[in-house]
A and B are shown apart, each in its own frame.
Chain A
Amino acid sequence: MTKRRMMGVLLLALGLPVTGAGAVQKDGKLYVKARNTRVLKSPLPTADVVAVLQPGQQVTWKGADPKNKQWHQVTEPGGKPGYVFQTNLSTKPPNMELVAKDGGTRAIDPAAFVSSGAAVKALSPGAEKYGNEKGGTSAQAVKQIKALEDLANKVTPEQIAEHVRQAGLFPVVAPNTTLGPQKVTTGKSSKSTKGTK
């Protein structure tokens, strides 16, 4: 059995949403699932950016590109046509969470949510107090987690996109929300242990 065919069997066997729980046909609605999802002018990762969408926004599906079925023709919420990478889209909506100032959660506009930076939240204040009061090595753990969170927050979408490009992975999370021509990055792709299949 070829590697590619074996992967197909694995996919099917694992029951992954090859068709999706709720199958979507042409002109049906799909959800954007990944942060900074780009709608591109043509089915190429370097094409001009028509729109950048956020998780929970919906597009109208027009079908897979006949030459490369990993790119899908869509109409974005503003009515502009374009192409989106396959795994940026889902038949199911993502979960959206927001902690409001009053501690509750509320329905949100996906684009406004991401641009507000409201998703960023540090170690909870109660947990920090709890850790510092608990004794033993817990205060040190609090200090380390806060340092780790600072470090994690410095990992930007630009860094993630660059890593993905170098590793030869799928261009799902865009580096920014800039529209128009993309800044072309040059450089060698990293060596794969198995190569492209």
Chain B
Amino acid sequence: MRSLMKVLASVGVGLCLTSCAQVTKGLKAAKLGGAADDFVAASEKAQKCDKLGTPPAIAEEYALGSALAIRWVQQGGGLMLSGASEQQLNTYVNTVGRNLAMQSPRPTLRWTFGVLEDPRNFNAVSAPGGYVFVTRKLLQGVENEGQLAGVLAHEIAHIALKHALSQYATVKVSACKGAVVGDVVFGAIAERLLSASNSDGKLDLDADTGLMGKMADDTAEALSKGNSKDQELAADRLAVELMLSAGYDPDAYRQLIAKTAEGGGVFANHPKKEERVKQIADILNKLKDSGEAFVELSPGSLHNPALPASFSVVKATGVARDTK
């Protein structure tokens, strides 16, 4: 009977993981004993899991980002790194990417840019810690450096704005609560999650590859559902800001977006074009006159450089143009 009550308490916690603080407080005050006490204990543990929702430290970010980068490289069919010409392409992409990243809100993060072999998907992905990957297929559709810069800047923005880390925080809290219930997450992983909930909420992923695998798998699954529209719009805004900061014409990025099929490839989770227009109009209405204040960005002297010769290596199917 007692074990049945425990099960019921666990189920109760499972059903009431996020908003039971008041219920728990009431039950505790009532001192009902038995299953109610079990429920209170489990609920208090579950509430402690919220600590895992705080932004992770940089070491944890690098560890998660590294695990996700391995996954993205696998899914993308490996990196284009064979031979001098492919290495030269990656050097070029890193030159363009690092110039933008050094002007981003996270200039001291380690930034690595790579080209995935994937010849079928027009896509770009990023991982916390500063990993940005673009597919061969995407590069085949890029017509100038401005368009490449736009894509890289959009991914830099996701990292700078910590969008994947936000999903990771949700995954951590959920896994911890699963560990409280006991039949969703168990064993050494559950112990580490519960231990973190009793301290500062940080996880040492580097110390436990099992935990790292679980967190990377769950985060990748969450990311596969896409960022929110607000996050995509925010990434677009910062991307344009980065382009302007570096001296690129953001119109190049707009052209690339325009020629991409709506809802496909890298833009699968992006807002529809009409929504972008509405956002633009809304922001326009809120603008203020600069007056005598410092102006951070201006539209003057922008460029849209041609692609270098090293880019020709992506054109096995002859789509992208090469003018430099």
Contacts and interface: CB of A to CB of B under 8 A. Distances in A.
Contacts of A35: 102, 107-108
Given A94-B107, A128-B66, A145-B79, A69 B94 contact: no
Given A12-B284, A155-B98, A87 B296 contact: yes
B250 A13 contact: no
A37 to B, nearest CB: 10
B108 A105 contact: no
B110 to A, nearest CB: 5
B31 interface: no
Interface stretch (B16-24, B180-188, B190-198, B203-211): B203-211
B301 A144 contact: no
A107 interface: no
A144 B78 contact: yes
The residue among A36, A103, A105, A127 with the most chain B CB atoms within 10 A of its own CB is A127
A103 B306 contact: no
Contact of A127 (B66, B111, B283, B289): B66
Interface string A92-123: 10111111000111000000011000011101
Contact of B99 (A15, A16, A104, A173): A173
Contact of B302 (A33, A36, A86, A197): A197
B234 to A, nearest CB: 11
Contact of B94 (A61, A155, A194, A195): A155
B244 interface: yes
Contacts of A120: 110
Contacts of B294: 20, 23-25, 28, 30, 61, 64, 72, 89, 91
A186 interface: no
B6 interface: no
A185 interface: no
A13 B287 CA distance: 8
A103 B245 contact: no
B300 to A, nearest CB: 7
Given A12-B284, A168-B305, A193 B144 contact: yes
Nearest to B160: A95
Given A87-B103, A164-B99, A7 B57 contact: no
Interface string B233-250: 000110011001111111
A46 interface: no
Interface of B: 57-59, 62-63, 65-67, 69-71, 73-74, 78-79, 81, 87, 90-91, 94-96, 98-99, 102-114, 129, 131, 143-146, 160, 204-209, 212-213, 216, 236-237, 240-241, 244-251, 254, 280-281, 283-284, 286-306, 323-324
28 contacts: A6-B251, A11-B298, A14-B237, A16-B241, A18-B287, A19-B288, A20-B296, A36-B102, A64-B294, A70-B301, A72-B294, A91-B294, A95-B105, A97-B58, A97-B109, A128-B66, A137-B78, A141-B78, A148-B90, A151-B81, A160-B99, A168-B305, A169-B99, A169-B303, A172-B246, A190-B324, A192-B304, A194-B304
